[in-house]
């Protein structure tokens, strides 16, 4: 599902279902997801081959008094994953000002070289989108997250973001930095193989409609990475 308002992307989501009987229910859920929109595109595609990830990245949560404190912590966690401090701060600045070179948000993520600080995505206005990933049993994961104290309002956001971050690491991304462009949602995260999925709040002040994703990469075949992120299908079994 992709929704737009006045030509700008406002919401997007996808689901992988095993049974044809679940398609209608899933489409109804996706239709209700955007708050406001004037255009929505729904695409249904049959998947022939998929891979299974046994376990998602572990989840950790931290709260701070201000975005500035949160950003310093995020840079520190990225350093634990081997991202140089200056590159981590560059990622922060890209999301603060808006990653689109023409200003504002972009649909996909930035690919940031950790050695040179250069952006490597072929189309810097579009970015790279991590898609075709979901949970093998969403209802089971949702109930487990509820038991862990995750509020109902945040469940879908967390499940989608955690699935994306987990696939990214499996595809070869070293670490990820993210916060939403939703002006009312201030929680963001950093993620990596060693640090796990680290929820951090607040990564921005309320009312700011700018955000996005930065994928930190190194010494990789860009086309192979993009193929994995955008074309290969993954289902995640458990937390």
Per the rule left: phi > 0, alpha: psi between -120 and 50, beta: everything else, 30 is: alpha
Residues in the chain: 239
Vertex 232 angle, CA 172 and 177, to 5° = 40
Vertex 145 angle, CA 63 and 24, to 5° = 125
pLDDT along the chain (239 residues), means of 10: 82 84 88 88 88 97 98 98 98 96 91 97 94 94 94 91 98 97 94 98 96 95 96 96
In the block, which residue shows the tokens 């049959």? Answer: 46
Enumerate residues 6+ apart whose C-beta is below 8 A from 111.
119, 120, 121, 127, 128, 215, 217, 222, 225
| Long-range pairs, 152-155, Cβ under 8 A, ≥24 | 154/187
- pLDDT of res. 65: 98
- pLDDT of res. 225: 97
Domain ranges of the chain: 1-46, 49-236
pTM of the model: 0.92
Residue 179 contacts residue 187 (beta carbons within 8 Å): yes
- pLDDT of res. 239: 96
User: What is the DSSP secondary structure assignment for residue 194, as one 8-state letter?
Assistant: T
- pLDDT of res. 118: 97
Whole-number Cα distances in Å, 15 to 12, 151, 160: 11, 21, 9
User: Which pair of structure tokens corresponds to residue 46?
Assistant: 């049959």
């Amino acid at each position: 599902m992709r929704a737009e308002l006045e030509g700008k992307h406002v919401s997007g989501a996808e689901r992988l279902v095993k049974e044809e009987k679940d398609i209608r229910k899933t489409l109804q859920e996706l239709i209700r997801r955007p708050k406001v929109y004037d255009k929505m595109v729904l695409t249904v595609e049959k998947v022939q081959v998929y891979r299974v990830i046994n376990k998602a990245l572990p989840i950790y949560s931290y709260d701070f008094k201000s975005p500035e404190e949160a950003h310093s912590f995020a840079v520190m966690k990225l350093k634990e994953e081997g991202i140089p401090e200056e590159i981590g701060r560059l990622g922060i600045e890209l999301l603060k000002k808006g990653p689109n070179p023409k200003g504002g948000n972009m649909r996909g993520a930035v690919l940031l070289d950790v050695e040179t600080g250069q952006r490597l995505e072929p189309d810097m206005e579009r970015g790279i989108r991590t898609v075709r990933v979901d949970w093998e049993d969403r209802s089971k994961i949702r109930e487990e997250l509820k038991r862990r104290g995750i509020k109902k309002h945040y469940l879908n956001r967390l499940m989608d973001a955690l699935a994306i971050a987990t696939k990214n690491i499996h595809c070869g991304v070293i670490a990820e930095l993210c916060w939403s462009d939703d002006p009312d949602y201030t929680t963001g995260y950093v993620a990596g193989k060693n640090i796990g999925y680290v929820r951090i709040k607040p990564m921005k002040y309320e009312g700011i409609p700018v955000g996005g994703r930065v994928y930190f990469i190194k010494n990789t075949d860009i086309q192979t990475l993009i193929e994995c992120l955008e074309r290969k299908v993954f289902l995640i079994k458990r937390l």
